[in-house]
Amino acid sequence: MALLVILVLASMAQVSYCGGAAIDYGKALSKSILFLEAQRSGVLPGNQRVAWRANSGLLDGKANGVDLTGGYYDAGDNVKFGLPMAFTVTMMAWSVLEYGEQMGAAGELGHAVEAIKWGTDYFVKAHPEANVLYGEVGDGDTDHNCWQRPEDMTTSRQAYRLDAQHPGSDLAGETAAAMATASLVFRRSNPGYANQLLQHSKQLFDFADKYRGRYDVSIPVARSYYGSVSGYGVSKLSSDDKMNILWRHILFWSTSNSCVMSMQDELLWAAAWLFQATADGKYLDYLANNADALGGTGWSTGQFGWDIKYPGVQVLAAKILLQGKAGAHGAVLRRYRQKADFFACSCLGKQGGSGDVQRTPGGLMYHQRWNNLQFVTSASFLLAAYSDSLAAASGAAVQCSSGAAAPSELLAFAKSQVDYILGSNPRGTSYMVGYGYTYPQEAHHRGASIVSFKSNPAFVSCHDGYSSWYGRKGSNPNLLDGAIVGGPDEHDDFADERNNYQQTEATTYNSAPFMGVLARLAAGHGGRGRFGRSFPDELATAATERDNKTSVLPAADDGKHASPVAIEQNATRSWTEKGRTYRRYAVTVTNRSASKTVHELHIGIAKLYGPVWGLDKARYGYVLPGAAPSVPAGGSVMFVYVHAAPPANVWVTGYKLV
C-alpha cells in the first residue's frame, strides 16, 4: 500500500486537473517552444517544424549595408522590435539555465537551445561595431496598416540603429543581458560561441553605460509600440489606455527624470547577468554600488516584463546572496532581497494595501486588459525560480507584511497561475493555442490567419489581407501551436475574435518565461532549479506597524532595513463636527542616511479620505513639491492631511539615493 501511494504521488506531480481533464505540463512545454518557430524571420532551417511558414525578410538590413536577416517577429505583426526580442532571449536562456535538466528529461532541451541561438545569431549580426546596435527592422506604423503574410511583405524594412550620437542604454543593456545569459547556456557545448556572445555582451554593456539615453528617443518609431518607460508594459496602447493602466497598476514612476529612469533597470540587469557569466567582481561591484542611484533597492513593484526588470534584478541579487557569493556586498544584497520579497508578497496578495496585485474572480493576477498574460507568465517563472533558490537555502522564507511565506507557497501560487492559463479557470478555456479541448481559434496573427504560402503562394497584398482574411469568420487556416494569447479581462471574460487584439494576440515574451515554469512543473517534486548551484551535464521588509496614533517605518543605510527613508505619523489635533471626529495627522519623512541625498521620492497613500497639504499629486502617487525636490542626509520633510478616520496607510513607493 505504501508503494502504491508513492507511485500515485509521483504521477500526480506531473499533472494537474481541471474538470476531470489532466493538465500535461510536458505537452504544454513542447508547444510553447514550437510557437517560437512560427515567429522566425529569415531563411528557415531544414528542421523547421512549423510547416506552414516559409522564408521571409531576406533583404533585411541590405539598404543599410548590413545583414539583418533572422531573429524573431514579436507578435502577430512582421516587425523585428529589438527590446522585446532581447527580453525573450534572456528569459529563454534563464529558463534553460534554471530548468534545462528538466527540459532534457522532457525531450525539449535541444529545441529550447536552438530557439535561443536563433535569437543570439541575429544579435551578433545586429552588433557590427562596439558602439553600434541595430534595434529595429521595419516600423509599426506601416506594418499595422497592412495585413500580410511575412513571406509577402511589401512594407518598409528600414533598419534603425543606436550609436554614440544616438544612444539607447535600455535596449543595449537588455541585449547585453541576453547575450551574457545565453553564453552560460553554450559554455560547455560550444565554448567558442559562448566566448563570442560574452565579448558582444561586455561591449554592449560598456556602450549602454557610457552613452546614456533612452532607445525610443533615438529610434522614435518604436515609441508607440514598445516605448521604454520602465515598468508600464504599455506596448501598442492608446494614450487613454496607458494612463488608466499606469494609474491602477504601477507602483513607481519618476516624474522628474523619466528618461534616465527608463534605462536604469536594464543597466543593473545586464550587470547582474555579466557577473553570473564571468564571475568578474567588477560587475557585482556595479550592481551593489549603483543599487541606490539606479533604483535597484529603491523601487518596489509587483510587475515583471519586457520593460520592467527590477524584480528580475532583485531576484538575481537575492540568489547571489543566498548562494553565499555576496562577498563584501552582503548588506546591499540583503536590501535587494527585501525588494524581491516585496515582489513575491505582492503576487501572493500578502503585501497589504495597494501593494497587492489585483486578481480576477477566478484567481488570475491582473494588471491590464491588453496582453495581461505577459505579466502572469513572467511572474510565474520568477516565483518558481525564487522559490527554488529559497528552498535550496535551507528553506528560507519570504517576509511579507502579513507574515512569512514558505518557498512552497510561491511555487504553489505559480502553479495556480499556470493551471489557469492552461484551462483551470471559470471558462474552462486554455489560453495556449492548440492545447486542451477549448482554446482560441482566431488568434490575431497575420501569418496564421492567411492561407499558408506553401499551400497557396499567390501574392496577398496589404488590402487583400484585410478584405479577404482579417475579417473572415472562423478559425485561422494555420494553427499557431503553443501561442499564449493576451488572455481574459478582469472579469475572466474572453472574446475569441481576430480583431480583439488586446486578448487574442500572442507574443514571444509571453512564451519565453513560460517555458521555464512549465519545465519545472513537468518535473514534479524533484524538479527544483539548479542555476547557480550546478549545471546539467549537457549544458557546458519587516512588517509595518500601524496604530491609531503612530506609524513608523524604521530604516538605515547599513543594509539591515528595506529603506533609508523613515515615515512617522502623529495625530496632532482632533475636533468633532456634525457628529464626526476629524483628526489632523502630521507625517514626517526622514532621510536616515549618513551621507547620501534622497532624490525623486515617491509616496504612496491609501485609505485617505480627506485633503493633503505639503505634497503634489503626481500621476502615480505623491511627490514633494518643487522642480527637483530632495531630502538631504539627516534631513526631514513634513506633510499633513485631515480626515475622519484612523491613520492612512503611507509608504515609500520609490526613491534614488545619491
Q: Which residues are catalytic?
A: 77, 444, 496, 505
525: cell is 517534486
Crossing angle of the two packed helices 191-210 and 258-278, in degrees rounded to 10: 150
Quick check: 590 and 636 in contact, CB under 8 A?
yes
Q: What is the crossing angle of helices 508-522 and 82-105, to 10°?
A: 20
Q: Are 138 and 157 in contact (CB under 8 A)?
A: yes
- Rounded to 5°, the CA angle 411-414-415 comes to 85
Instruction: Report H helices in 405-550.
Output: 407-421, 446-449, 462-464, 501-504, 508-522
Helix (H) / strand (E) containing 369: none
Helices and strands (H, E) in the chain, number of each type = 20, 20
Instruction: Name every residue whose Cβ is closer than 8 Å to that of residue 235 and which is 6 or more positions away in sequence.
Output: 84, 225, 226, 227, 306, 307, 370, 371
Question: In b/e form, how buried is each residue of 33-53, taking b as 16+ CB within 10 angstroms?
Answer: bbbbbbbbbbebeeeeebebb
Q: Which residues contact 617 (CB under 8 A, 6 or more apart)?
A: none
In which residue are the cell numbers 514579436 written?
74
Q: For residue 517, what is its C-alpha cell? A: 515554469
How do beta strands 598-606 and 649-657 pair? antiparallel
Residue 594 three-state SS: coil
Asked whether 128 and 204 are in contact (CB, 8 A), the reply is no
Half-sphere exposure of 142 (CA within 13 A, CB side): 12
Tell me which residue has cell 542626509: 633
Q: Can you say how many angstroms the Cα of residue 619 is from the centroid of all Cα atoms in its chain?
A: 22
Q: Which of 343, 333, 173 is nearest to 252 (CA)?
A: 343
CB neighbours of 443 closer than 8 A, spacing ≥ 6?
Answer: 76, 433, 449, 476, 480, 483, 485, 498, 504, 505, 506
Question: Residue 378: which of 398, 395, 357 has the closest Cα?
Answer: 357
Dihedral angle sign, alpha carbons of residues 508, 513, 519, 524? negative
Task: Extract the runs of DSSP E, i.e. beta strands, from 322-385.
Answer: 358-359, 365-366
What would you report as the CA-atom Rg of the chain, rounded to the nearest whole angstrom? 25
Give the span between the Cα atoms of 332 and 347, in whole angstroms: 23
Contact, 345 vs 355, CB < 8 A?
Answer: yes
